[in-house]
Amino acid sequence: MNDAPRHAAKDPGPPLRADPHRGAQRLASVVAALAGSLLLLFLAAPIAELVSAGGAEGLRRLGSDAELRSSLLLTAFTATAATLVGVVCGTPLAFVLARREFPGRAVLSAVLDLPLLVPHPVAGIALLLLLGRESAVGGAALDLGLRIVGTPLGIIAAMLFVSAPLFVSGAREAFAKVDPRYEGVARTLGDPPWRAFRRVTLPLAGRGLLASAVVMWARAVSEFGAIVILTYNPKVASVLSYDRFTSFGLSEALPVAAVLALLALVPLTLLRALRTSRPDER
């Protein structure tokens, strides 16, 4: 007779063994979290300190300090003008770099990245050499009645030099993300290249282009080194902040610097909104 129970107990299998690496993994996680938090604190604390110390005063001074107001307006105007020039001239360049294979493409890309690597006062000196009244370009512009150095044009030139590569790089990436087969389909549906670009490529790359323009604008607003060499006066906000610091000390520079930091929140918010990712649609 079979004495075995009709329903044998379910085999629990081999006992679970403790993972010998579990403790080390937990420690690594804690160290990584700590390192990340420290960096975050290091980046955020100075700005928070600046805004809390001078933000209210800076906003109050917007009503009473005419120089600060005109400096901010000049900053916004020149940064916008530099961005517009960068977008108009940089978009076709970015498209060509994203779409076409040609000899020297890598060299061209490297040249475009160069302004990002040059120290900004050095960029200012280089621009002064190119656009100063003694130079061929600056002299020719003067003959046409255009003075570059020491005018808003100089500010725009400095801003364009240091920030346009950021737009071209971002725009190139935005175009590269658009599958050329979309354009191909548009062409077979009757569009010549320009119309396919306007109706298909541009809308599909639009968010990336806009985000790149915002990055360029923000970089232009924050520029100091090249501008201070090319055009000290009229003063953009960064130069004004430096000028107040060297002439009157920290207490006078603080409100200007705080307003600039608050201004930086505008492109930051825009970028957040634009970078909300959308899945690829085919």
The site for other proteins (CB under 8 A) is made up of 179, 181-182, 184-193, 199-200, 203-204, 279, 281-282
Least distance in Å: CB of 274 to other proteins?
15
Least distance in Å: CB of 208 to other proteins?
13
Least distance in Å: CB of 190 to other proteins?
4
13 to each of 16, 25, 52, 135, 147, how far by Cα in Å?
Answer: 9, 26, 61, 85, 86
Least distance in Å: CB of 139 to other proteins?
45
Scored b (16 or more CB within 10 A) or e, 250-259 reads: eeebbbbbbb
In sequence order, what DSSP letters do the residues of 239-260 get, joined into one string? HHHHHHHHHH-HHHHHHHHHHH
3-state secondary structure of 58: helix
CB closer to other proteins, 133 vs 195: 195
CB closer to other proteins, 100 vs 181: 181
Between vectors from CA 95 to CA 266 and to CA 194, what angle results, nearest 5°? 110
CB closer to other proteins, 139 vs 206: 206
CB closer to other proteins, 178 vs 229: 178
Least distance in Å: CB of 281 to other proteins?
3
DSSP code, position 91: H
CB closer to other proteins, 103 vs 279: 279
DSSP code, position 234: S
